[in-house]
Structure formats: structure tokens, C-alpha cells
A = this chain, B = another copy of it.
Amino acid sequence: MSTPKALDLHPDRLFPAEPGARAIARRLYGQVAQLPIISPHGHTDPSWFAGNEAFANATELLLIPDHYVFRMLYSQGIELDALGIPRRDGSRSSVDPRAAWRLFASNFHLFRGTPSSMWLNHVFHEVFGLRERLDAGSADRYYDHITAALQQPGFRPRALFDRFRIELLATTESPLDLLQHHAEIRASGWPGRVVTAYRPDPVVDPEHEEFAASLERFGEITGENVYTWDGYLRAHRQRRAAFAAMGATSTDHGHPTAATADLPADEARRLFEKVARGGSSAAEAELFRAQVLTEMAAMSLDDGLVMQIHPGCFRNHNARLFERFGRDKGADMPMRTDYVNALKPLLDRFGNDPRLRVIVFTLDESTYARELAPLAGHYPALFLGPAWWFHDAPEGMWRFREQTLASGGFYNTVGFNDDTRAFLSIPARHDVARRVDCAFLAKLVSEHRMDEDEAAELAVDLAYRLPKQAYKL
């Protein structure tokens, strides 16, 4: 076996190569490197912070929950069963977690240049203190080292939360979640600020595979007759209030499109009745989701919750994989997305109201300069979420800034979201975002489009001030 290769995290990573611009980036980054992390949108599991149990091993922690990672392995012919990914029915292949780790390690070259390699190397180096590169040769040493570390108190969820300097972490829950873990966290006396966010898709999307069951449960939980339009809306209001009581400051909506609607009350009622009975067509389902977005905006004006819209994904594109492994297995695919027409009904009703805050995201980068920046650079209620999901690599973040700056400026954006299930990667992701923003600002300064003191103020705004303000934290 060859000599182990050194794993290095260069202090100037992601900064421009040109020495003058690099020096500027370094100074800007110096202003933000140590700022606390604001994570207003993500998918970590609140039970981690409620129970504070140790993570089991390297594979369970870093491989199993990270669909960015196993989708790439799968694309090169590695079966999900060979990695031990849980199946839809809850069963798992009997693969040894160490064997899964070795398979991952010996294919780690597949991630060269991708954000996953950056995030993982950051975790290896900074969280676990590893100093050799991951490959087939180092796989076992990695597995043993990480798995051993996880048994130590300093690697429990709350200790990592503190070590990561997280000032706020939002999780995302369905209206059907009783928020017990959040209640436990609050009751525990631990001062870490973990809040929820209201994600009502299962009771909003008639095409969700569990819509009927979810609707029934929605009624049970709220005690409302959710089969009437008024009862359904009251149930939302009730759960939103319960979420706000558990710290939520935002809602989140993951629809196939950005369509909104503003139907007359009678039509909305009739549409709901059809949807609730389970007989809606695809077009009716789309119209219903569209109408609910506008209803949610109306509720936000009352309860103050910030509204996030995450449209444009063809969920569960791989029919066979969905059947065997279920949702969120790396088989969601971005689609072309329209905003200018889609958002108009909602904006016509509420877009001019500066008390409302709607944060829009996209998986269709062609809309950054064409639709989203012009919309956000005009409507008081509209803000742009950061480069998202398939686009939160350095290149995608750079394109976001480069394509939204002219019409949207910096101040109609809301800072970074890590949007992750991979808890340990949170510092890595925020670090990448801060570095890319500093590199982008350094380019503007080095080309004399902005003075360095302005860029320094902006760097802090983007890393810390804007997310707090946008999400009312």
C-alpha cells in the first residue's frame, strides 16, 4: 500500500488565486469566520438534541443520512443495499457498516471537486482531527477513529452544537408532528436554541402518497372538521400557532411549481371539497396547492411567520427506486420553473405589503437574472433565498450572486441556508458560503466597484445580520 496522502484544509481555500484579490478575501473572511452560525432552514432531527444520545458509527452518521453522497455512488452502479440504506418498509440489507464504509472510501474519488468532498473533508479534518485523505487504504483507520470519537461526550449532539457555535438551528416538521422533541429540548434547561418550522406539504399536496391519511390525522390533532374549507384553514392556524410556540418563525412550502392562486371564496371552497374527497385531477391538485400558498400568505400577515417557497422539483423521479426505498433517496430532479406568471396572484394580493416576507428559492438557475432578481428588486414582500440544493456548491453560490446582484442587490437576499440533514456538515457548509461571499466581494473590491469597508460590512450582513432579520430571529 502506498504512503497515506495528507489531508489538508488550506486557510485560503475558495479564495481567488490572484494575490491582491486573495488578500482582500482573507481580510473580509477574517471579519466573519468566527461569527455564530444562524441556520434558519434545515432538516436535522430534533430528537438528537432532545435525547442527546451518541451517534452510532461513521457509516450511520455520515453515509446513511446523506443522499448527496449515496446518489453519486449509486450513479456509478453501487446498489443502495450494499451501503445499508434503509428501505421503504423499514428493513435494511444485512451489510456490515464497516463494509459499507469501505465501499464509500474506495470510491471517494468520485466526489472530487464536488461540494460533498469539501464538506466531508472539513468534517474529517475539523471535527475528527483526521490528517490523511480518505481512500481504500485509510478506510478502516477512518472508521475506527470516527466511531471511537463518537462515543466520547464531546461528540454528543449538544456538545457539537455548542462547539459549532450555533446560535440558532431550525428544523422542519409536518403539521402532524406534535413537536414533542422540541418540547423536551425546551424543558431540558439546555440553552441551545433549536426551533421548528411549519412544513404543511403532506396536508396541502393532494398528490402526496399519504395525503388522505394525513388529512384525517390533521383533523384528529386539531379537533377541527378538516373536511370543510373553513375547518381546514382553522386547523392550519391552530398548528401554526403551536409551531410558533415552539419557536417557529417560518413556514416552508415544497411544491412542484411556484403556482399561486387567488380564487373567489366559493371556488376555493368547492375546489377544497373535491380535493378532500380524493377525486381531484392533476390540474385541480395544482390549483389547490396554488390557492393554499395564498392562504398561507394571508395567515402570515396575521401571525408573522415568514413564508418560504421551495418549488421546482420532480420528486421521486425513479419509479423503481421509490417503490423499494421511498422518498429522499437522491432521485429528485429539478425542473424548469416559472415565477413571473406563477407568483402573480399572490403578489397581486399581498406583494406590496412590507409586513409580509416571502422568501423564494429556485432549482432553475435560468430564473435568477430573468425573473427572481427583478421580482425581488421590486416587490416589498419578496426576498431571495440562497443557492439551493443542487446549486449550493461554490460554483452555484457564485452564479447566484453574479446573476441576482444587478437587479436584486445584496439586500433583497437573506444570507445562507444549509438545508441539511447532515448535522456535522453544518459548520463546513456555512464556512463555504462565507468564503464564497467573501471571494465574490473581493472581486468587486479588486475591480474597484466597491470600497473594502463597504464589502466588510456586507460580509457581516450576509453571514449574520440578514438571516436574523429576514427570518425575524
A interface with B by C-beta (< 8 Å): 5, 8-10, 12-18, 20-21, 71-72, 74-77, 109-115, 117-118, 133, 314, 317-321, 330-336, 338, 340-341, 344, 347-348, 351-352, 354, 363-366, 369-371, 373-380, 382, 390-396, 402-403, 405-412, 443-444, 446-451, 453-454, 457-458
Given contact pairs A317-B340, A330-B377, a sample of 14 additional A-B residue pairs in the complex whose CB atoms are under 8 Å apart:
A9-B448, A12-B448, A13-B449, A74-B378, A112-B450, A112-B458, A114-B405, A117-B449, A321-B352, A334-B370, A364-B366, A366-B366, A374-B390, A390-B406
B380-A74 in contact (CB<8A): yes
Contacts of A382 in B (CB 8 A): 75
Partner of A395 from the list B117, B402, B448 (CB cut-off 8 Å) is B402
The smallest beta-carbon distance between A364 and chain B, in angstroms, is 5
A314-B340 in contact (CB<8A): yes
B77-A354 in contact (CB<8A): yes
Partner of A447 from the list B13, B321, B344 (CB cut-off 8 Å) is B13
Partner of A319 from the list B348, B390, B411, B453 (CB cut-off 8 Å) is B348
Query: A450 to B378, alpha carbons, bound, how many Å?
Result: 40
Query: A52 to B251, alpha carbons, bound, how many Å?
Result: 56
Query: A9 to B449, alpha carbons, bound, how many Å?
Result: 9
Query: A117 to B385, alpha carbons, bound, how many Å?
Result: 23
B352-A320 in contact (CB<8A): yes
Contacts of A369 in B (CB 8 A): 334, 365, 390-391, 396
Query: A332 to B378, alpha carbons, bound, how many Å?
Result: 9
Contacts of A448 in B (CB 8 A): 8-10, 12-14
Contacts of A10 in B (CB 8 A): 448
Contacts of A20 in B (CB 8 A): 17
